[in-house]
C-alpha cells in the first residue's frame, strides 16, 4: 500500500508519543525486566526515526546530513521499509528472550535464589538482541528496496501480520497450558495432596480471567486488521503497547505452567491484574 507524507508523520508521531507515555507511566518497574529495558530502547529508536524523517521532509529539496550520511528526498521511504522489515525480524527474538526472562524469574522466586538480574544485565541483553537482528538483516535477510524515483510524495509500505500470528500462537499456548494445568490433578489415579487441587484450578482460572479482563479490548483491536484490506503498516507493528500485552501474556503462561504444579501455593503469588512491564 502507498502512504503519503502527512499520514506517515502522524502515525510515527502518534507511535512515539504513545511509546513514551507508557514508558513514563511504568517508570518505577520498567528496569526490572528485559521487555521493560527493550521498551525504552524501542521508544528511543522510534523517536530518532521520526525526527530524521521529519527533517528530511522539511528540507526535501536539499541534501540533509544525518549521522554522517547524506540523505535525499528518496530516503524516507527506504528508512520506513527497512524499519518495517527489522520490526518483523525483531518479533521472535524479543518474544523468546522475554519468555526465558519470565520463566527464570518465576523459577528463581520459587527456589528462593539470591541472584537477581539488574537493569545493566537487561541492557546488555537488549543491545545483544539489536546487534544480532542488525547482523541478520545485513548479512542474511533478503531485502529488496521498492522505491520509485518518480513518486516521492508517497511511500510503498508493506503491511505485517506478524503481531497477529504471535498473538494467536501464544493465546493457543495459554489455553493449552491452562487446561492441562487445571485437569492434570484430576487425571491422576492417586493424588497425594487432594486439598491443593481446587487451589491450583482456582489459581489458573484467576490468572486467565485477569489477563482477558485487562486485554480484551486490545485483542479486539488486533482482530480488526483481519477484516481490513490494508492491514497494519509494518513500521507500526512493534511498539511499547504491544510489548506490554506480550509481557502480560507471557506472565500468564508462565504462572499457569509453573505455579499450579509447585508446592508453594499456600503462599501463592497473586495473578497479574495490571499490564506492567
Please check whether residue 273 lies inside any domain of the structure. no
In this predicted model, which residue has the larger pLDDT, 67 or 34?
34
Residue 277 lies in a domain: no
- Over residues 68-96, mean pLDDT: 86
Q: Which range of residues forms the domain containing residue 201?
A: 2-267
185 vs 274: which has the higher pLDDT:
185
In this prediction, residues 263-274 reach a mean pLDDT of: 45
Residues of 70-79 as b/e, b for ≥16 C-beta within 10 angstroms? ebbbbbbbeb
Least confident of 31-35, 160-164, 242-246: 160-164
Taking only Cα atoms into account, the Rg of the chain, rounded to an integer number of angstroms, comes to 22
Q: Are strands 154-156 and 232-233 parallel, antiparallel or unpaired?
A: unpaired
Strand pairing partners for 155? 3
What's the pTM? 0.84
For 55-72, what is each residue's pLDDT tens digit?
Answer: 888 876 777 777 777 777
Total domains present in the chain: 1
The terminus-to-terminus CA distance of the chain in angstroms comes to 33
The torsion defined by the Cα of 232, 31, 130 and 101, in degrees rounded to 10, comes to -90
Per mean pLDDT, which range of 127-136, 193-202, 230-239 is the poorest? 193-202
Query: What's phi and psi for 228, nearest 5 deg?
Result: -110, 140
User: Is pLDDT of 49 > 80?
Assistant: yes
pLDDT band at 265 (very low <50, low <70, confident <90, very high): very low
Contact in structure between 229 and 164 (CB atoms under 8 Å): no
Give the Cα separation of 158 and 84 in Å (integer): 8
- pLDDT, tens only, 134-190: 999 888 888 877 776 666 678 888 887 777 778 888 888 888 877 776 666 565 545
Rounded average pLDDT over 16-29: 92
The C-alpha atoms of residue 99 and residue 121 are separated, in whole angstroms, by 16
φ, ψ for residue 10 (rounded to 5)?
Answer: -65, -45
pLDDT higher than 90, residue 127: yes
Does residue 198 fall inside a structural domain? yes
Nearest to 173 by CA among 238, 255, 260, 275: 255
Angle at 94 between CA 88 and CA 97, to 5 degrees: 155
DSSP string, 176-219: HHHHHHHHHHHH-S--TTGGGHHHHHHHHHHHHHHHHHHHHHHH
pLDDT band at residue 40, thresholds of 50, 70 and 90? very high
Q: Hey, which residues does 2 pair with through a beta bridge?
A: 156
| Mean of pLDDT values over 38-54 | 94
Query: What confidence tier does 115 reach under pLDDT thresholds 50, 70, 90?
Result: confident
Closest CA to 77 of 249, 221, 233: 233
Q: Are 120 and 72 in contact (CB under 8 A)?
A: no
H/E stretch holding 27 = none
- For residue 217, pLDDT over 70 is answered with yes
pLDDT (average), residues 101-112: 80
Amino acid at each position: 500500500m502507498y502512504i503519503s507524507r502527512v499520514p506517515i508523520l502522524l502515525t510515527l508521531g502518534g507511535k512515539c508519543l504513545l511509546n513514551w507515555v507508557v514508558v513514563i507511566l511504568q517508570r518505577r518497574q520498567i528496569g526490572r525486566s528485559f521487555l521493560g529495558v527493550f521498551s525504552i530502547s524501542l521508544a528511543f529508536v522510534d523517536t530518532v526515526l521520526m525526527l530524521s524523517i521529519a527533517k528530511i521532509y522539511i528540507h526535501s529539496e536539499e541534501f540533509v546530513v544525518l549521522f554522517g550520511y547524506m540523505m535525499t528526498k528518496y530516503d524516507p521511504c527506504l528508512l520506513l521499509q527497512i524499519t518495517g522489515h527489522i520490526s518483523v525480524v525483531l518479533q521472535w527474538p524479543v518474544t523468546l528472550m522475554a519468555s526465558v526472562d519470565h520463566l527464570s524469574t518465576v523459577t528463581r522466586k520459587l527456589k528462593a535464589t539470591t541472584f537477581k538480574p539488574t537493569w545493566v544485565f537487561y541492557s546488555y541483553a537488549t543491545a545483544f538482541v539489536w546487534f544480532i537482528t542488525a547482523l541478520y538483516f545485513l548479512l542474511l535477510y533478503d531485502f529488496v528496496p521498492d522505491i520509485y524515483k518518480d513518486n516521492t510524495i508517497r511511500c510503498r509500505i508493506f503491511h505485517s501480520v506478524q503481531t497477529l500470528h504471535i498473538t494467536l500462537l501464544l493465546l493457543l499456548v495459554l489455553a493449552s497450558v491452562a487446561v492441562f494445568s487445571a485437569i492434570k490433578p484430576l487425571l491422576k489415579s492417586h493424588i497425594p495432596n487432594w486439598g491443593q487441587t481446587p487451589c491450583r484450578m482456582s489459581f489458573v482460572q484467576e490468572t486467565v480471567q485477569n489477563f482477558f479482563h485487562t486485554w480484551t479490548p486490545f485483542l479486539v483491536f488486533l482482530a480488526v486488521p483481519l477484516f481490513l484490506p490494508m492491514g497494519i503498516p509494518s513500521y507500526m507493528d512493534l511498539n511499547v503497547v504491544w510489548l506490554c500485552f506480550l509481557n502480560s501474556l507471557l506472565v500468564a503462561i508462565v504462572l499457569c505452567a509453573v505455579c499450579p504444579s509447585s508446592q508453594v501455593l499456600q503462599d501463592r503469588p497473586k495473578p497479574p491484574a495490571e499490564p506492567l512491564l
